[in-house]
Structure 1
Amino acid sequence: MTSSDCLVRSTDSPQKPPPFPVLPIPTSRQLEWQSDFMALFLHFGPNTFTDSEWGDGRADPSVFHPTRLDAAQWVGVAKQAGFSRVILTAKHHDGFCLWPSEYTDYSVRSSPWRGGRGDVVAELSNAARDAGIGLGLYLSPWDRHEPSYGRTVEYNEFFMGQMTELLTRYGEIKEVWLDGAKGEGEKDMDYYFESWFSLIRQLQPRAVIFSDAGPDTRWIGNEAGVAGSTCWSTFNRSSAKIGGTDPRYSRSGDPVGHDWVPAECDVSIRPGWFWHASQVPKSARTLLDIYYKSVGRNCLLLLNVPPNSSGLISEEDVQVLQEFNELRRSIFDENLAKGALLSASSTRGGMMNNSHFSAENVLKEGIYSYWAPEENWSDWTLYLRFQEKVKFNVLQVQEPIQLGQRVIEFHLETLNDGGEWRQVINGTTVGYQRLLQFPMLETQELRNFYEYFSNTWKLDVMKTARNNLSATL
């Protein structure tokens, strides 16, 4: 010590560290995936030109001839509508490849499009990179054209060869989508899923892998884009079989699951997955309802918007997506809770000295700022008081899922003019995000109650939450 050094006693208590995580917890790639909210699915291929959904692999490659294909338009539509990534059916069940694969002649190389020198995957990859959004690829395990299908080792080698092409030629791939669909009466085929997963990890370690059973994200169990009102990201992969998972289990997840496998809700803007001239898109209001039942229930929404036979996303679909985006912005651009004075039943480490976990954190952006109460307290409540009455009809709640998922139930109450607390709405799981709608109400004070799952396996009991109040037009 020098002569100018001195010792002092601090009057402040040291900060408490963050609560111990409740296992399982998400990987960094799963956290990134969940924060994207929505992805745009692009079903495109010979089916677009033959007015079919499941091609049999016998359509002549010459039918694939989009005269105005513009991947930049697809990406621009996605970005302007608020989507963070696009996922293309690089190969659907018919076996036709939208890239010039070296392992089959059933591809764009054999079509008249771009004189047989075109590559849809490359054009989309370049457009996505230029626009700054992510690219995912769908590769169907079921292949109705490939002669080796049904010969287990030979076909798995073929499939992994095609997968290697897709994962090494087109830059960063954000998601690999493995469809579990297969028609009845088709050839028996054993897929070497674990080998496929290992290859993806080796070639694209940041890519999220989708299948009925994960490992990174799971199918919700229906094609309506609707999650269960209770939806856990925790899941037991050992209880799921790709192509044969119980939809009820997929829809709700498992509160005591040993794996972190959040759900993805896929649905098409039109009745079919591929474009058909006779079909019309869903309305923006219908898409908003799906959004509440997917993104608003701890899932990612994968909305299919199929390009038409000219190679463009149809104008009527573009119009609906623009209206859908405007509806969401009118609701969520302003967080009415930001005008409130916040308090809590308790704060981890004490009210005065642990700002890392204070109630005010629920209004900060991102899941890394959160409120945490004291453990072992029976009352876990967050209070919001406004200077004057506010009107709202949407509640958004989030958990810091980097610490796991633990909320099992919560409810919102408002204080009426007579000084009585009245329950407005209740919910079960939260996860990354929960959105609840209710009739428009007006109040100056409200409170949220939370209950948490706790037993010897769920290692900790603590309360964390983020709140957002919104009003629809």
Structure 2
Amino acid sequence: MKLKKLFLTAGLTVAASTPLIGQKAPEPCGLTPSPRQIEWYNREIIAFFHFGINTFEDFVNEGDGKAPTAIFDPTALDCGQWMQTLKSAGIPAAILTAKHADGFCLWPSKYTDYCVKNATWKEGKGDVVREFVDACEEYGIKAGIYLGPHDRHEHLHPDYNTEKYKHYYAAQLEELMSDYGKIWETWWDGAGADELTTPLYTHWYKIVREKQPDCVIFGTKNSYPFADIRWMGNEAGQAGDPCWATTDSIAIRDEAAYYQALNEGIYDGNAYVPAETDVSIRPSWFYHPEEDSRVKTVKELWDIYCSSVGHNSVLLLNLPPDRRGLLHSKDSLHIAQLNQGIRETFSKNLLTGSRVSATNNRGGKFDVKHLIDNNKQTYYAGRDGRAKSDITFTLPRATTFDCLMAEEVIELGHRTSRWSVEYSTNGKEWTSIPEATGKQCIGYKWIVRFTPVTAKYVRLRIEAGRACPAIHSFGVYKQAEILK
């Protein structure tokens, strides 16, 4: 029986012309992110500050734990300058290497003398971690802590063993998680930490969860079962294509398969652990004046943004402070220009104002028009049981573009597993964009760049998936000149 009048359903008055299905959201499909992971995704870019005793040695990136504490002496440390740089670059979060593999601690830990309380800086009265978190709070930046599990200085002790180190590290983790306010991320580097087994991380994990329930844990190797986010397998800034947020919680023994799983994820994996893409703006992780001429260009940073944030990942970009305790002006300029280029590129979706139709449209609150309404609170969805959809955009006029972006509703899980984009001048004869053909993952954000094309019609083809599509937005854009 067809209804010809208004009717009441689930306490909501709905017009008869609006199908009931158009008011009901799709059910989540497969694994979905936690609130911590959703918040982390929304950061998009995080700054990494590699700063410590290595900064004051000559071209050292992996200290041996033997450097004297007295050499740590920044002459003009200003964490506020770091945060001002991040604000100008649109970066909302930062992580400080509170203890790197050399074991030197940037706070006056009660559990070691190998820390700032025995440094020349401020006659041993300083606390870099305190200055960092205070500056983060002042400028509205989310603070994170890298507390390196591997500690070469502790290895130098003749009575070192992993059981003692378990409690030593736990005590320092307690200090950082208890005494410095809100911590949004803790970074458990896997480098050199092969001897640290799951029972140790189980002990440390409980401390993080008790003290900082909203803190995401970056983990790899033996800490993997406790990780909210994973390493993506290289330090070149290149997340995989695809780059699924899902992977396997059980370590993959074959090395090649292990690195592929880190980089690409596993579509039908049994754990939701998305990838964080770490890379330095310079060739090294710590500052060296010899590299002032080798800071990555704006174009190189744009390439990295597109292959990290634009590959369903979050970019962790290292900005190493110098021996003064300041960021170099070239580093600061380049990330500010990157931010300018990103804003200029994505400020206007060239599909805005188009007429939109879909072969699979849920309608109502989930109508296909929401793909171009520039509202993150709305989205397009197809009908239940139908994974495919051809979505056609008819532009007001022929338009030239060289970039596209799609954003899936990650709260509903990975749904689409194959998609392509085509264009046409007449709506009848279609040409594929090679770089956007046979794509797999969408996730939080997927960006594709290509040789400029001019078209009046654009078609997004959802070709396969495990459930009906659910996509926040789709757009085509012209890349800003500053990025080229």
- Would the TM-score normalized by the shorter structure come out above 0.5? yes
- The amino acid of 2:366's aligned partner reads F
Deviations 1:163-206 (A, max 9, x none): 010011111101000000018xx9x4546112212211110000
Deviations 1:141-179 (A, max 9, x none): 111112388512211011010001001111110100000
For 1:240 and 1:48, how far apart are their aligned partners in 2? 36
Q: What's 2:183 paired with? A: 173
Runs of 4+ residues over 6 Å off in structure 1 = none
Return closer, same or farther for 1:9/1:463 CA change in 2, 3 Å cut-off: closer
Per the TM alignment, residue 302 of structure 1 is displaced from its structure 2 partner at its CA by 0.4
- The amino acid of 1:400's aligned partner reads V
Q: Within 5 A, what are the aligned runs for 1:430-445?
A: 430-445=442-457
Match of 1:308 among 322, 329, 333: 322
The reply on whether 1:109 has 2:109 as its aligned counterpart is no
Q: Within 5 A, what are the aligned runs for 1:366-381?
A: 367-377=376-386, 379-381=388-390
The reply on whether 1:65 has 2:77 as its aligned counterpart is no
How many residues matched? 453
Q: What's 1:273 paired with? A: 285
For 1:154 and 1:61, how far apart are their aligned partners in 2? 23
Q: What's 1:19 paired with? A: 26
Deviations 1:357-396 (A, max 9, x none): 1011112445541111113347402121111111111110
Q: What's 1:3 paired with? A: none
RMSD across aligned positions (CA): 2.1
Deviations 1:212-250 (A, max 9, x none): 235200000001110111110011111358x99821110
Of stretches 325-334 and 166-175 in structure 1, the one that deviates more from structure 2 is: 325-334
Per the TM alignment, residue 263 of structure 1 is displaced from its structure 2 partner at its CA by 0.1
Please say if residues 356 and 392 of structure 2, whose CA atoms lie closer than 8 Å, have aligned partners that are also in contact: yes
Please say if residues 178 and 210 of structure 1, whose CA atoms lie closer than 8 Å, have aligned partners that are also in contact: yes
Please say if residues 371 and 465 of structure 1, whose CA atoms lie closer than 8 Å, have aligned partners that are also in contact: yes
Q: What's 1:457 paired with? A: none
Q: What's 2:334 paired with? A: 320
Secondary structure at the counterpart of residue 77 of structure 1: helix
Give 5+ residue unaligned stretches, structure 2.
Answer: 9-14
- The amino acid of 2:394's aligned partner reads R
Q: What's 1:118 paired with? A: 126
For 1:140 and 1:34, how far apart are their aligned partners in 2? 23
The reply on whether 1:35 has 2:51 as its aligned counterpart is no
Please say if residues 106 and 116 of structure 2, whose CA atoms lie closer than 8 Å, have aligned partners that are also in contact: yes
Please say if residues 347 and 372 of structure 1, whose CA atoms lie closer than 8 Å, have aligned partners that are also in contact: yes
Please say if residues 368 and 380 of structure 2, whose CA atoms lie closer than 8 Å, have aligned partners that are also in contact: yes
For 1:150 and 1:416, how far apart are their aligned partners in 2? 71
For 1:282 and 1:168, how far apart are their aligned partners in 2? 37
Per the TM alignment, residue 463 of structure 1 is displaced from its structure 2 partner at its CA by 4.7
For 2:341 and 2:403, how far apart are their aligned partners in 1? 13
Please say if residues 452 and 461 of structure 1, whose CA atoms lie closer than 8 Å, have aligned partners that are also in contact: no
Task: Report the TM-score when normalising by structure 1.
Answer: 0.91
Match of 1:297 among 294, 297, 311: 311
For 1:149 and 1:361, how far apart are their aligned partners in 2? 63
Per the TM alignment, residue 452 of structure 1 is displaced from its structure 2 partner at its CA by 3.3
For 2:426 and 2:370, how far apart are their aligned partners in 1? 28
Give 5+ residue unaligned stretches, structure 1.
Answer: 1-6, 455-459
For 1:86 and 1:9, how far apart are their aligned partners in 2? 51
Deviations 1:97-117 (A, max 9, x none): 000000001101100111211
For 1:25 and 1:367, how far apart are their aligned partners in 2? 18
- The amino acid of 2:389's aligned partner reads W
Please say if residues 374 and 473 of structure 2, whose CA atoms lie closer than 8 Å, have aligned partners that are also in contact: no
Q: Within 5 A, what are the aligned runs for 1:27-426?
A: 27-51=34-58, 52-146=60-154, 147=157, 150-182=160-192, 188-190=195-197, 192-212=200-220, 213=224, 215-239=227-251, 246-279=258-291, 280-348=294-362, 351=363, 354=364, 356-365=365-374, 367-377=376-386, 379-417=388-426, 419-424=428-433, 425-426=436-437
Task: Report the TM-score when normalising by structure 2.
Answer: 0.89
For 1:417 and 1:150, how far apart are their aligned partners in 2? 73
Deviations 1:54-109 (A, max 9, x none): 11111011110000000001111112112110100000001000000000011011
Q: Which has the higher helix share?
A: 2
